[in-house]
């Protein structure tokens, strides 16, 4: 491996996230928070639970940031070519050929300039992970957000429990300055994680993506439709997103919705 590969943006971002995670955890243990009090009293269940949640959130973060988000194969296999040909949308809205990858993009795919690849069911490129969120890792991304929010809110409570405000300013700054900075960081991260989780749960419930929600007026397969053609109802949307059921291509579903919308009322 070339030396400069170790300094790639992805490595730096993931290393920074890991260092920040364990640094904040260490601050919560070293200061006089409830976490440290439980440890000193020999009540290890809650501290161990907190550590396991932190470790779990970190492992999920690494899994989402390192896994294939659903890249479109530049050289598709014969079976994939057959599926794309049989799942073509009506001629009114043909599949688009990417001008960068020169591949026929499946419906809901988009080219990511940061990753330099086309991603199936593209949602967005996450700079905090240096990876796209797409068809394969989007469910795990939502689970990660939920677990991360639990850890952040618990850490926020622990940081608040260790703050002592009835002290002279200089003494308070020396004893609690770092913990207070940690509290502010956790407050900011909790707000961001909450907004992200709520927005993604809304998108999942309506079977849309961040890219489609923001740019529906620019997307050909959405621009000519009064409503979302992929919305199957809350239960089916959640089942398909988290469990892959019911299965089927987006092209087929779009065509079925198009036929139902164009058929005359009886």
Catalytic residues: 126
Confirm if 72 and 102 have CB atoms less than 8 A apart. no
Q: Quick one: which of 53, 235, 226, 64 has its CA closest to 138?
A: 64
Query: Measured between alpha carbons, how far is 231 from 241 in angstroms, rounded to an integer?
Result: 11
CA dihedral sign, ordered 216, 222, 223, 228 = negative
Residue 254 and residue 52: Cα distance in Å, rounded? 43
222 contacts 216 by C-beta, under 8 angstroms: yes
Strand partners of residue 119: 71, 110
> How far is the C-alpha of 247 from the C-alpha of 225, rounded, in Å?
23
Q: How many whole angstroms separate alpha carbon 156 and alpha carbon 202?
A: 25
Q: 158: how many CB neighbours lie within 10 A of its CB? A: 26
Sign of CA dihedral 117, 120, 125, 128: negative
| Cα separation, 16 vs 18, whole angstroms | 5
Cα gap 61→129, rounded to integer Å: 8
Q: Which residue has the tokens 């919705």?
A: 257
State how far the Cα of 229 lies from the Cα of 251, in Å rounded to an integer. 10
Count of helices and strands (H, E) across the chain:
10, 4
């Amino acid at each position: 491996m070339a030396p400069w590969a170790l300094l790639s943006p992805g490595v730096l971002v993931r290393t920074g996230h890991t260092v920040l995670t364990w640094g904040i955890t260490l601050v919560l243990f070293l200061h006089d928070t409830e976490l440290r009090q439980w440890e000193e009293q020999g009540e290890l269940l809650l501290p161990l639970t907190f550590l396991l949640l932190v470790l779990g959130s970190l492992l999920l973060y690494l899994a989402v940031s390192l896994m294939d988000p659903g890249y479109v194969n530049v050289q598709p296999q014969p079976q994939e070519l057959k599926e794309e040909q049989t799942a073509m949308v009506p001629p009114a809205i043909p599949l688009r050929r990417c001008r960068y990858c020169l591949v026929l993009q499946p419906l809901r795919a988009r080219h990511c300039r940061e990753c330099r690849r086309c991603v199936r069911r593209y949602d967005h490129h996450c700079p905090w992970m240096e990876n796209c969120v797409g068809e394969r890792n989007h469910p795990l991304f939502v689970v990660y957000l939920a677990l991360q929010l639990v850890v952040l809110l618990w850490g926020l409570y622990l940081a608040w429990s260790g703050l002592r405000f009835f002290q002279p300013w200089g003494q308070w700054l020396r004893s609690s300055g770092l913990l207070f900075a940690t509290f502010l960081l956790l407050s900011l991260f909790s707000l961001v994680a909450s907004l992200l989780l709520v927005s993604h749960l809304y998108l999942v419930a309506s079977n849309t993506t961040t890219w489609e929600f923001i740019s529906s007026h620019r997307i050909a397969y959405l621009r000519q439709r009064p409503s979302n053609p992929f919305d199957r109802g809350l239960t089916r949307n959640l089942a398909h997103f988290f469990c892959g059921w019911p299965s089927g291509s987006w092209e087929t579903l779009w065509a079925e919705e198009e036929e139902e919308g164009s058929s005359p009322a009886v």
